[in-house]
Structure 1
Amino acid sequence: MLEPDQQDEQRATLAELLRELRQAAGLSGERLAARCAMSQAKISRMETGKILPSVIDVEQIVAALAVPDDAAEKLVALARVANVGYTSWRSLARTGLWRGQLEIKALHESSQVVRQFLPAIPSGLLQTPDYARQVLTSTVKGRPERDVDKMLEARLSWQRVLEETDRRFEFVLTEQAVRWRRAPVSVMAGQSANLAALSERENVEISVVPLSSEIRASPLNLFVIYDERLVTVELFSGTVALRGPRDIAYHLELFEFFRSHALTGEEATGLLCSIAEEFRRETE
């Protein structure tokens, strides 16, 4: 996986190679665009590195230029690498982890439909302030230091996007994610009740995969799909961004697969309410 400076280098190399291949073939940008059913402006932006070509874009270009198979395979492989971005928490910590919350806010504000698969913990969009503070406070040795107050302020600010009814938010959580005791019982009770309340909003769908379900697939990672243009996958060490159409299609299929095994609507709300009540009773 690549850090941001290495990603930029890969993208610049890809742009340069595309330009050189077109020039070697003796084609103008306009003629290549016609062969690929693209605009000349798009070809120009790809060759200057202003936009990142998708794997499909590169496949169309090498086919139009009749690039030899071995060279074409290398170029397509480079496109795949360039379309996968990796940002480590340590890299982000150098400029302030709280800035990452602002980037997430911008992604949500630029999307009409956001889908989140949450096998281990509720999304920051769904967290109460008390629960979020517990989550943002580092407890594992080796994790980067963070300004919890700044991160919390930023997280709470982007939760307001849920109030924009022209956007839709779909969440699939495992029951384990709801029950995992990431905070004191009193905080867990409030967090579970918050999930139940949010599930009743018209533009929010919260589905819960019950522990009793038999599912022949493993929920390996938290991932978020922004419209059908970007997937982010969260790891312990950082976040991977996937922009390739096939990667996005695969994660859409995964999302629907897990949702098909989940409780939805009133059943999901009922389960969340019952979990909140269980936690509440423990505080008595």
Structure 2
Amino acid sequence: MTFEPERLGQSRSDLAEALRSARKRAGKTQTWLARRCNMSQTKVSNIESGKLTPAMVDIELILEALEATGPEAEKLLSLARTANTEWQDHWSSRRKGLDKKQNELARLEAVSTEFRFFLLSMITGLLATPEYVRASIADVPGDQSKTIARKLERQQVLYDSTKSFTFVLTEQAARWPLLPPIAMAMQMDRLISVSRLPNVRLGVIPLDGHVPERPLNTFTVYDRRLATVETGTGALILRDHRDVTAYRDDFSRYEEYALFGDDCRALLAEWSASFTRPRQ
């Protein structure tokens, strides 16, 4: 299926109408459908009114209950997949204010307990020093002091023992010289410090090994509910369980090539020293 960015996250009403029509063609009531799918009638009503985006498993249950097959089922599954995918472009985020985006992330972090971060080219804000955070949004015009403060506030979630975090960074992500050498050395030290938290696993994939994989994007997986995939101009928000599972599987493969624990810290310390070592 081809995704059209302008349609992503906007097809809930189309899906709601199609589901409502399918149920009526089958001659069934919302109460009957709710009972067959082990849902509340309120949930079925909210799905058919477009107030609630159903998960793919909800759609599969509804299709089975209505005995919908062939082109009709394919259309409903396609609409559901699109409704469960959202596109957030950088320009819209900047117009709304990047501090608003930080609030959205904080809310997502509050309701999630298991986090997986695959960092391909840069260090994420949860792991960044204030200098790195500032440099990462230096190209955004205007006063970004609120955004910087909010990014740093969000780092407190790392100290919540009810949550677990796994970060996998490529060597490029860790060593990309976004800051002057001394500041980059401090950023390496920050990674070492965070790696010692009991609920954090931080690993790096060095470039001197053999990695028969070809990662294309930075991505984050929140529990089993959602995956975000970053591109050069925005981010895809994926809620389809197949997409989320696929990214969890990708993460597991990359994790196998990463160094963790003391091996990771030794490598980060070596990189930290390289930033301050006099050039020959």
Q: TM > 0.5 between the two?
A: yes
Q: Look up the match of 2:66.
A: 65
| Cα distance in 1, alignment partners of residues 209 and 9 from structure 2 | 43
Give structure 2 stretches of 5+ with no counterpart: none
Secondary structure at the counterpart of residue 94 of structure 1? helix
- Quote the offset at 1:178 in angstroms: 0.9
Q: What are the residue-to-residue correspondences of 1:76-155 with 2, within 5 Å?
A: 76-138=77-139, 145-155=141-151
1:10 aligns with 2:6: no
Deviations along 1:219-256, one digit per CA (max 9) or x if unpaired, are 21010111110000111111100001111111111111
1:19 aligns with 2:20: yes
The equivalent position to 1:201 in structure 2, one of 193, 197, 200, is 197
- Quote the offset at 1:20 in angstroms: 2.0
The equivalent position to 1:173 in structure 2, one of 169, 190, 198, is 169
Secondary structure at the counterpart of residue 5 of structure 2? coil
Q: What are the residue-to-residue correspondences of 1:35-46 with 2, within 5 Å?
A: 35-46=36-47
Q: Is the CA contact (8 Å cut-off) linking 2:56 and 2:80 kept in structure 1?
A: yes
Using the size of structure 1 for normalisation, the TM-score is 0.92
Q: What are the residue-to-residue correspondences of 1:245-256 with 2, within 5 Å?
A: 245-256=241-252
* Aligned residue pair count: 277
- Quote the offset at 1:180 in angstroms: 0.9
Q: What are the residue-to-residue correspondences of 1:41-56 with 2, within 5 Å?
A: 41-56=42-57
1:263 aligns with 2:251: no
| Cα distance in 1, alignment partners of residues 111 and 278 from structure 2 | 41
Secondary structure at the counterpart of residue 43 of structure 1? helix
- Quote the offset at 1:27 in angstroms: 1.0
Secondary structure at the counterpart of residue 91 of structure 2? helix
| Cα distance in 1, alignment partners of residues 30 and 150 from structure 2 | 44
Percent identity at matched positions?
Answer: 38
Amino acid at match of 1:124: G
The root-mean-square deviation of aligned C-alpha atoms, in Å, is: 1.8
1:276 aligns with 2:272: yes
Deviations along 1:248-284, one digit per CA (max 9) or x if unpaired, are 111111111000111011111111111112113249x
Q: Is the CA contact (8 Å cut-off) linking 1:97 and 1:147 kept in structure 2?
A: no
| Cα distance in 2, alignment partners of residues 86 and 261 from structure 1 | 30
